[in-house]
Each structure stands twice: as structure tokens, then as C-alpha cells.
Amino acid sequence: ILVVLAVCVYTLVVDVGTSTGLGCVGQPRTLDFLSFNGALSGFVFAFQGQGIMLEMQAEMRNPEEFPKAVVVGNTTLLVVYTLVMVAARSACGDRTPTELLLVLPDGPRKLVVGVFMTAHLIVCYTILQQVLCRAFA
């Protein structure tokens, strides 16, 4: 996922507004009840991971270190998400797309990102199914 983020941020910083970049395709929106709650739900979903956390704690060599791991992990997520948001907002302003992948132009970058996203989904699905498999084993 870091490769995907790096490619998207590179596109935002270097290519937006040039002939090679697709750029900012978002529509300016007003802040109302539904858009605020939609954004808040997306934010909460981005930090979601509780479904697998206890399983991770059970697998740790030192489970008492788990709170420290959660703090470090969520802090890292917050920093990465903030950097990506600042890059997107500074490049696109009010036309920031709702999906980060929309900044990518058709071509090799989009293909590479698609391959990495597919691999990421396969790995995540496999890890999340571990909980279900253990419940029935």
C-alpha cells in the first residue's frame, strides 16, 4: 500500500496540472449534515482494524506490549493519512477527488497501482479469514 500511496502522491506533486496528469477531478461540495457524516464515516473506516487486533495480540510473543503497538500503528496511520491529505488538498484545493486513485492518469502507473492494490486486498482478505478459520478449527 505504501507503493500505491507513493505513486499517487508523486502524481499529485509532480503531474497534476500538466499534460501527463489526470489531476483534480473532484467536485466542490458544501458542508452539510450528510457530507460531514459521510466524511466522518470514511475517517473511522480508515482507522478500523479492531476485528483482527485481539487475534494479533494472541499471536504476539509479548502480549503486554500490545497497547504500545496499537499506539505506534495508529500514529503512523495518522501521519501517513495527513501527509497524503495535505498533498492532495494543496495540489487540488476544492477539486480534490473523493478517491485518491482518481488522480492517476491511464497508463503504466495506473496498471502498477492496480496490481499492488489487488495484492494488498488478497493479503488482507487472507489475514482477516484467519480469525474465522480459527473459530471453526
Domain that holds residue 7: 2-136
Amino acid in the structure at residue 106: D
If one counts the domains in the chain, the total is: 1
Residues of the chain where predicted confidence (pLDDT) is lower than 70: 16-22
Whole-prediction pTM: 0.75
CA distances from 108 to 113, 114, 115 (A): 9, 10, 11
Cα–Cα distance measured from residue 31 to residue 26, given in angstroms and rounded to the nearest whole number:
15
Indicate if the alpha-carbon torsion angle 35, 36, 40, 43 is positive or negative. positive
Cα–Cα distance measured from residue 11 to residue 73, given in angstroms and rounded to the nearest whole number:
26
Largest pairwise CA distance in the chain:
55
Instruction: Please report, in angstroms and rounded to a whole number, the separation of the first and last CA atoms in the chain.
Output: 31
Cα–Cα distance measured from residue 23 to residue 25, given in angstroms and rounded to the nearest whole number:
6
pLDDT in tens, 43-80: 888 877 777 787 788 888 999 999 999 899 889 989 99
